[in-house]
Amino acid sequence: MCRFTPDALALPAGTDWFTGKFGTKPDETPIDTIRRYLSAGFFKDHLKTYKSRPIYWLFSSGDEKAFEAFVYLHRYNQGTLSRMRMSIIIGGSSSG
């Protein structure tokens, strides 16, 4: 399973044109812009593109947005949800 976190991105210089398409807010870093787009805009755009038959599925904790993950349809199998649960939810919690 591939883990992706916006903090792990190494953005090259000159990415303002890319993040500018997402409506960068004042005092927002490129990472923050990408994180905001993935959280609020990507799935809406994706549904429009694929006419409500997405190839990425959004798994979310709901309005709290404590947890959000995209799963690629063609990589989904019977162990995907349990791996996601173990590596992200349980592995991401702090125990002390």
Backbone phi and psi for residue 18, each to the nearest 5 degrees, phi listed first: -75, -55
More confident residue, 69 or 65: 69
Task: Tell me how long the chain is.
Answer: 96
Q: Once rounded to an integer, what is the mean pLDDT over residues 63-81?
A: 86
Token pair 């303002």: residue: 16
Q: 79: pLDDT confidence band, cut at 50, 70 and 90? A: very high
Q: 25: pLDDT confidence band, cut at 50, 70 and 90? A: confident
Q: What is the pLDDT of residue 95?
A: 45
Q: Is 10 helix (H, G, I), strand (E, B) or coil?
A: coil
Q: 77: pLDDT confidence band, cut at 50, 70 and 90? A: very high
